[in-house]
Amino acid sequence: MNEVAFSFAGQTLSALGSGALWWPDQQLLCVSDLHLGKSERIARRGGPTLPPYDSRETLTRLATDITRTNPATVICLGDSFDDLQSSLAMEASDQRDITTLQAGRRWIWIEGNHDPGPIDLGGTHMSECLIGPLTFRHIAKPLTQSEVSGHYHPKARLNARGRSITRPAFLIDQTRLILPAYGTYTGGLRSSDHIFDGLMSEQAMAILTGPQPRIIPMPR
């Protein structure tokens, strides 16, 4: 199976190889940092005209996960759009794709630092949301409990027989779960970055995404 099951806040959750989080008991799929419209925003601001297929690619991968898990609820954990204008300037086909994905399920947009306001698409818009014991918000807060967040685009590196392998990764400890970025045009922040020192406990684990996700002690 292309997923790793783990226990968090008394719940059994699954890290999918794609970077999405699956919560079987709630039939809930959560993805973070889609950054839809990133290429459009860069061009709008006078930067290079990057291949404009990033949103389509991101939504295609999301559609695959949704088809496979058939969730009752989908949470997009913030920075779903690269900025608020991106959400308005979406290709009509991408908008249709989102509407199709939303059909028949509850869809929650959590606000992020890139998209801190209402989005002109179906679904509920929230700054954070509480489901069962879990709190979903974009940026991790200090001294928290049972919190699921994104924002940092974590990735982890390990050495195996001389080979260095770096992958986007889930970071997990007793109180916190940080999701990797799901968007196509996103980079990553190494788990060894000092930012994570203050966020993740000594016992933190990392789950590397990929064809078969793997869990390891979080590299520091």
Partner 1 sequence: MTQIPARITAWFASKGWSIHPHQQDMFNRASDPATLLIAPTGGGKTMAGFLPTLAELADGAHKGLHTIYVSPLKALAADIRRNLRGPADEIGLPIRIEDRTGDTSATQKKRQRVDPPHILLTTPESLALLTSYEDAPRMFAGVQRVIVDEIHALAESKRGDQLMLALARLQSLCPDLRRVGLSATVEDPQAIAQFLARHPDPCQIVQADPGPDPDIRMLETQEMPPWSGGGAAYSIPAVLEQIKQHKTTLIFHNTRAQAEIFFHNLWLANDDGLPIGIHHGSLDRQQRERVEAAIVRGDLRAIVCTGSLDLGIDWGEVDLVIQIGAPKNVKRLVQRIGRANHRYNAPSKALLVPANRFEVVECVAALEAARAHDLDGDPRGPGPRDVLCQHILIAAAAGPFDAETLFGEMTAAGPYAQLTRDEFDACLEFCATGGYALRAYDRWQRLQQRPDGQWQLRDPRAAQRIRMNLGTIQDTDTLKVRLKRNRGGKPLGEVEEAFAASLTPGETFLIGGQIVRYEGLREMVVEVSRRADRKPKVAVFAGTKFATSTQLSDRILRMFAQPDWPQLPEHTADWLALQRDMSRLPQRDRLLIESFPNDGRENLCVYGFAGRNAQQTLGLLLTKRMEETGLAPLGFVATDYATLIWGLDAVTDPRPLFQLDALRNGLETWLAGNAVMKRTFRASATIAGLIERNTGGQRKSGRQATFSSDILYDTLLKYDPNHLLMQITREEAMRGLVDFGRIETMIARIGDRIDLLRLDRVSPLAAPLFLEVGKVPVKGAAEERLLAEESARLLQAAGLAPG
Rounded CA separation 80/112 (Å): 7
Using the minimum distance from each CB to partner 1, give the nearer residue, 107 or 152.
Answer: 152
Whole-number minimum distance, CB 205 to partner 1, in Å? Answer: 8
Q: What's the gap between Cα 71 and its chain centre?
A: 16
Whole-number minimum distance, CB 195 to partner 1, in Å? Answer: 8
Whole-number minimum distance, CB 165 to partner 1, in Å? Answer: 6
Whole-number minimum distance, CB 44 to partner 1, in Å? Answer: 5
C-alpha torsion sign, points 74, 37, 112, 158: positive
Q: Is 64 in the site for partner 1 (CB under 8 A)?
A: no
Three-state DSSP state, 76: strand
Rounded CA separation 45/38 (Å): 11
Using the minimum distance from each CB to partner 1, give the nearer residue, 9 or 131.
Answer: 9
Using the minimum distance from each CB to partner 1, give the nearer residue, 37 or 123.
Answer: 37
φ, ψ for residue 22, nearest 5 deg: -120, 130
Rounded CA separation 104/82 (Å): 26
Rounded CA separation 107/101 (Å): 9
Binding mask 135-174 for partner 1 (x = CB under 8 A): -----------------xx----xxxx-xxx---------
Give the tokens for residue 68: 């496979």
Whole-number minimum distance, CB 152 to partner 1, in Å? Answer: 7
Question: What CA–CA distances, in Å, run from 178 to 27, 95, 117?
Answer: 19, 27, 22
Using the minimum distance from each CB to partner 1, give the nearer residue, 54 or 123.
Answer: 54
Q: Which residues pair with 28 in a beta bridge?
A: 23, 73
Binding mask 170-209 for partner 1 (x = CB under 8 A): -----------x--xxxxxxx--x-x-----------xx-
Whole-number minimum distance, CB 220 to partner 1, in Å? Answer: 11
Residue 208: CB atoms within 10 Å: 25
Binding region for partner 1 (CB under 8 A): 4-6, 39-40, 43-54, 56-57, 89, 91, 152-153, 158-161, 163-165, 181, 184-190, 193, 195, 207-208, 210-212, 214-217
